[in-house]
Structure 1
């Protein structure tokens, strides 16, 4: 689906909050039955592609599901005569985020999307509020490795993301986080070689299961790096080589000389391996092109990745393959070694420490000193951001700086970068990361960090699968020295060898078809790319929205903070699209762009408690005109309606009494529950949405505010049927 619906599960419980982490056993895990799951997963006996609310995993146990690779979350139930208990967990590497929100004493809401968690929260009568500390830290972060600094807090104070190493155990009186390890068989292994052997067996059996189950193209993106070759080794061990087609990048299509050089070395190596193994290049299948505008492009991305990943790339179109393609990827491989970024950060901090520019007694202090100096796009709110990042760095546990940054990568960027399978599914590419399995992770835990960094884990995987692949060099000289065995294969530098191959593929590549009704002319969308000006204007509007929802005492400094941040990204446009997604995620706290989807209501109580409807408390004013209790100024009193007219649909705000100076209105237009039009704040109490009307149910959401800095009042018009 181009736009992911906001599905959620709510579980009734009298718990008032999370009691803390408990590492104890949960009891007999086989007594839990999987109720529902969301996402894509695979194991030796299981493959699934589900949305939250579906129940297609009957008979699958928690230990079986917990080890499945992929991108998924699940809810399991254990029933007793006195109560129902629930277990909530995700894939072993946390690629699918579990968003949760607690309504104290009443319920917990769970979803695989921010929109779903928000929809459930609102349904229980709670309006989310801005997590100001997370907002400031996230929007000012400079490096992509800190784009989402914690992957625990969201822009909404009430909504959190479950840590990848935790599960939730929910009873009628308590909500606890437990170690996810207790769900897996892998955690009980104490021998390094056995963990590798079990990981190889699990990955190869899962690969064979996918290849048996799906009659689709299966592709492997082969570079000159370690991780994609590890995946190829697993394919050779599984005996599925002849059914795998190789993909790679064409260096001639890259803009910079550096990128062309790196990718050229990649393709020289991958082409040599492909030829020696007599494997085929993948020929792209037919696909259809769907024209979208900036608003739709962003809404599609946000519906899957809001408040999780900020790697937004503005697109004028969406290309969807005619049939799905299985894409085997090497995600998680860096965690079996060490990340290059952690090495660079460690080296940089030690260099600055020797010159006196970084100070601190502990590694947390040193990381914080370095981050506050170099990790932000702009200053201000130093104490707030320092407090937030101290919490982040302290959560990484003990160890050297390089070990701490590897842990940060595992908890944050590894999740957000490789957790793209559900979003990639929009284009009919179904991605699996078979290196991201629980047994390989356990093997990495059973050896020292130094041994892991020297290649002990990956070398053992090659040894148990396809050691002959170590006779080829890697694109990285360090890994060539650490891993490559004798005799080494010589790699030709004659680029005509791979150029002829890729040119031949280009000649037979099918033309992208224009989807019926989705052309630019059909939809009135221009051909110009999504401009920096359009993105910058969106950022300014979101800044204004955020400023309208913060306390007045923070507003002066926040306005300056926004001005400085905007000036920086205007000069450094490489940060523009990322900031668009970040401020859009903040706007999603107040005005989500995706409608509520399927809700699944569960209860820990076997006898349903009487739940009384809650009316949110309001302090009436003695004045006849509604009044803003914070600023003690009149609010706009209006009753909007929507009317069909010859040119489209006219929205009238119908303000009661005189219209105060400075009053502004904004409008959303919906058809069958999906937003199809938007007009930002202006002084116009009426708005005409000009369009050719199609059959359906239309209504408008109207926002009114008394001034630029005031919180808006939101009201919906009655439905009109066309």
Structure 2
């Protein structure tokens, strides 16, 4: 599987540090395989190398280099990393309002960090004089093979990935491991220091932002100010021409809409994006909201060409980018391939951080457990497919999960479970937005607010799960937004009247709009605009996709069996995958992608190196 790079504002990078006795593993001059470019940084004795997919977007100076991948807040404005950024810019990015990973190499040492919510993913490896830190797990696998260290399977990860169809394990990586032995996702609250072939972890200087507040009201007010300023930064961003704001029937997009109302002059630059059938709650309620605020639906704006892409390219991209961290599957028949630079999406993800998610899913196991170890054992046992229950690594999965639960800041089991959500599912499901960047546009999440997180964590789990934080924020942004109908019913019935710090629910008797005409007209115009941008015939045949992915995963499973998976488990996995595809392509993809990711990471493409271009800057 080839490495598939991301477009700006993302920058695929890896910092490589070799101990003196490992210096001969890399040639002393820059080289490339045509996709990844490797160059030494600093003095030869430092043994520091930088690999990147877009060397023109790396800032260099004698003895050093730096770069940033993603988006962030800088001096109250939105920063999009489309050009080389200087170290003072990189280091001044807001620690919590951002979706980025960054590196600075100077004085013989590399420092790598992400935003404290971990939306900028980073993976690490350090063993026997070689240290690698990268924001792409696939890149680490490729570099290990190029350094003469062929990736070996991490059987605890493999077991955790394949033993269950429970969403806790089957939808995303649930452990702090990857398919490759020795490679792990880094903690967002860590600063990674790399030098002399070693990796040292220090606590991120802003890790304390993600702790409980002493004053719910104060933190709530500061959080409201944060999300309003974050939305305002998106609307006024000079790097784009149009801001596309997602609106659904849910709570999170309602928060973003409320924050938008705190800005002025937004109507000329903002259009609203709502997907779904015309009769769906999303479309009906979005029509009500857009009409209420005097907005308009998205009809298309960007003119970049939509090129036909094959199923093979779609699969290669998904596996190279998500690399076993997220197990769904999506594809596109035509794509701008990251060329859309005129639009910025604004999404409403991350609201689960303020109300809870996994606790509702695993509540039965929480209620019958006294410790993290007991909870992990119960959950793993209950979630396991029968043929895996006696597997040698299943106890290790439970032990690893227990250690992961205890690693967070939470003291109660509920808080431990929600910390796990923050450090795992939230990073992959919400934070890894490469698919959206490639096929649609870059996306910004204004609800990333350490103050709202601190306010939420000052409440006990019962209050938090009642949607109190969401209610209080909406009431401050615009009280009418509390009363407009939501999909799935009114969500604030459990917010106790005496605990409400905001205005009481105002009774405006606002009904769902009877008309979706504006949405229908905008959708028709958007389809015309999209059709006009398509260049070349469609090569992806949707009706064949499930069968071809099924076959590809079957062949990958055979290769995983060859490297050590037992014949019995491989046969059971094949039967399970066959049954899942028969029942639902979506569920079939979920298992197929886990199998394919393991196979892909353990068999990286060869690095066919040739001399690289001159990459030095003054």
- The answer to whether structure 1 residue 448 and structure 2 residue 499 are counterparts is no
The answer for the alignment partner of 1:111 in structure 2 is: 134
In the alignment, which residue of structure 1 is the partner of 2:45?
none
Give a deviation string over 1:197-229, Cα, whole Å, max 9, x none. 333333333433331423421121122222111
CA, structure 1 residues 55+200, in 2 after alignment: closer, same or farther (shift >3 Å)?
Answer: same
Residue equivalent to 1:248: 274
CA deviations 1:319-347 (Å, max 9, x no partner) are: 668654211111111111122x5214214
Structure 1 residues 527 and 119: CA distance shift in structure 2, 3 A:
closer
Give the CA RMSD over aligned residues.
3.6
**1:87-109, Cα deviation, whole Å (9 max, x unpaired):** 321122212220111132x2311
Equivalent of 1:338, from 349, 353, 356? 356
- For 2:99, the equivalent position in structure 1 comes to 71
Counterparts of 1:118 and 1:296 in 2: how far apart (Å)? 19
Aligned ranges for residues 628-667 of structure 1 at < 5 Å? none
Q: 2:71 aligns with which of 40, 48, 69?
A: 40
Cα drift, residue 599 of structure 1 = 12
Match of 2:551 in 1: 537
Contact 2:130 2:197 in 1 (8 A): no
Match in the other structure for 2:14 = 8
State how far apart, in whole Å, the 1-side matches of 2:513 and 2:294 are: 19
Quote the residue 1:657 is aligned against.
none
* Alpha-carbon distance in structure 2 between the residues aligned to 1:342 and 1:185: 23
Provide the C-alpha distance between the structure 1 equivalents of 2:608 and 2:355, rounded to a whole number of angstroms: 41
> What's the counterpart of residue 223 of structure 1?
248
Residue in structure 2 matching 1:300, options 300, 317, 327:
317
Shift of 1:240: 5.0
Is 1:161 paired with 2:189?
no
SS in 1 for 2:284: helix
Residue 206 of structure 2 is aligned to residue 205 of structure 1 = no
3-state SS, counterpart of residue 99 of structure 2: strand
The CA distance in 2 between the partners of 1:460 and 1:492, in whole Å, is 22
Contact kept, 8 Å, 1:378 with 1:568, in 2: the verdict is: no
Write the distance in 2 (CA, Å) between the matches of 1:381 and 1:598: 49
How far, CA to CA, are the matches of 1:536 and 1:74 in structure 2? 37
The answer to whether 1:548 aligns with 2:562 is yes
The 1:558/1:216 distance shift into structure 2, 3 A limit, reads same
Deviation (angstroms), 1:375: 4.9
- 2:25 — aligned with what? none
1:454–1:14 distance in 2 versus 1, CA, 3 Å: farther
Structure 1 residue 407 displacement after superposition:
2.3
**1:214 and 2:239 correspond:** yes
For the residues of structure 1 that align with 2:205 and 2:536, how far apart are their CA atoms? 47
Summarize the alignment of residues 584-595 of structure 1 with structure 2, pairs less than 5 Å apart: 584-592=596-604
CA apart distance, 1:314: 4.3
Distance in 2, matches of 1:41 and 1:456, equals 28
Task: Select 1:128's aligned residue among 151, 154, 162.
Answer: 151
Distance in structure 2 (CA, Å) of the matches to 1:101 and 1:55: 26
User: Aligned residues, how many?
Assistant: 548
- 3-state DSSP class of the match of 1:238? coil
Question: Which one of 258, 264, 269 corresponds to residue 239 of structure 1?
Answer: 264
Q: Determine the C-alpha separation between the residues in 1 that align with 2:380 and 2:258.
A: 39
Compared with structure 1, are the counterparts of its residues 596 and 460 closer, same or farther at alpha carbon in structure 2 (3 Å cutoff)?
farther
Quick check: 1:387 aligned with 2:396? yes
Instruction: Extract unaligned runs of 5+ from structure 1.
Output: 17-32, 253-259, 354-359, 601-722
Cα distance in structure 2, aligned partners of 1:485 and 1:595:
63
Residues in 2 aligned to 1:322 and 1:86: alpha-carbon distance in whole angstroms: 32
Mapping of residues 328-367 of structure 1, within 5 Å: 328-339=346-357, 341-347=358-364, 350=367, 362=371, 364-367=373-376
Change beyond 3 A, Cα 1:583–1:464: same
For residues 466-525 of structure 1, give each alpha carbon's deviation from its aligned partner in whole angstroms, at most 9, with x where no partner exists.
334223343343523256944323243564x12x222222332324347787434xxxx4
Shift of 1:538: 0.8
1:181, distance to aligned residue in structure 2 (A) = 5.1
Give the deviation of 1:14 after TM superposition: 7.7
Change (3 A) 1:370 1:102: closer
CA distance in 1, matches of 2:80, 2:370: 49
1:139 aligns to 2:162 (yes or no):
yes
SS at 2:93's partner residue? helix
Over 3 Å counting, the alpha-carbon distance change for 1:514 and 1:249 in structure 2 is closer
For 1:490, the equivalent position in structure 2 comes to 509
Report which of the two structures shows the higher radius of gyration computed on alpha carbons.
1
Aligned to 1:666: none
CA distance in 2, matches of 1:65, 1:330: 21
Indicate the structure with greater strand content. Answer: 1
CA distance in 1 between counterparts of 2:440 and 2:575 reads: 41
2:519 alignment counterpart? 502
Q: Distance in 2 between matches of 1:152 and 1:430?
A: 27
Q: Alpha-carbon deviations, 1:512-563, whole Å to 9, x = none? A: 347787434xxxx47453333212211111111112222xxx6344434434
Whole-Å Cα distance in 2 between the matches of residues 338 and 599 of structure 1?
A: 51
* SS across alignment from 2:344: strand
Using the TM superposition, give the Cα deviation of residue 393 of structure 1 relative to its aligned residue in structure 2, in angstroms. 3.1
Say which of 290, 293, 299 aligns to 1:277.
Answer: 293
- CA displacement 1:546-585 (0-9 Å, x = unmatched): 12222xxx63444344344334434443322122321221
Aligned equivalents of 1:506, 1:270: Cα separation in 2 = 13
Contact 2:256 2:348 in 1 (8 A): yes
Shift of 1:151: 4.8
Name 2:112's counterpart in structure 1.
88
What's the TM-score, normalizing by structure 2?
0.78
Do the aligned residues in 1 keep the contact of 2:157 with 2:175 (CA within 8 Å)? Answer: no
Flag the 1:217–1:566 CA change in 2: closer, same or farther, 3 A: same
CA apart distance, 1:129: 0.5
Looking at structure 2, the residues matched to 103 and 567 of structure 1 have their Cα atoms a distance apart, in angstroms, of 39
The TM-score with structure 1 as length reference comes to 0.68
Change (3 A) 1:584 1:15: farther
Report deviation, 1:313.
2.3
Q: CA deviation at 1:38?
A: 1.8
Q: Aligned in 2, Cα 1:181/1:15: closer, same or farther, shift over 3 Å?
A: farther
Aligned to 1:709: none
Shift of 1:297: 1.1
CA distance in 1, matches of 2:610, 2:345: 29
Where 1:207 maps in the other structure, the secondary structure is helix
Deviations 1:402-430 (A, max 9, x none): 43332222222211111233331112411
Once residues 606 and 272 of structure 2 are traced to their aligned partners in structure 1, the CA distance between those partners, rounded to angstroms, is 37
